[in-house]
Amino acid sequence: MAVTAYFRFLTLNRLQMLTLENEVSNVLKKQTQDNQYVAYVLLDDVWLIDDISTFAVQQQISDDDCDILLTPQNNQSFEVNTADKIVNQMLKHIDCSISISAKRINFED
């Protein structure tokens, strides 16, 4: 796959972030200036879909507060790339938007 797919929760508070980290594997995060968190769940295993969906329902997260982010691997440029089928499967569970980044996400900030 030439792209990396993440499911993102765009506005989590600290308690929600801690809960997500305990309940779902492959979670990365970035803290925003207003002490909220953007959580990135690497979509690399179909079993994550149920965990993500359950968390979203339990935390009452709106479809507008999440998306699927597609980023290039290794900062290569986008031409024509295909995301894994897990992206389609995720959209069947949570009807969120898809975002595309021209650059790879840096989590060391």
Q: Which domains does the chain have, with CATH numbers?
A: 3-100 (3.30.70)
> What are the tens digits of pLDDT across the range 44-90?
888 889 999 999 999 999 989 999 998 877 665 556 556 667 878 88
Q: Compute the distance between CA of residue 20 and CA of residue 46 in angstroms, rounded to an integer.
A: 17
The 10s digit of each residue's pLDDT in 28-49 is 999 999 999 999 999 988 888 9
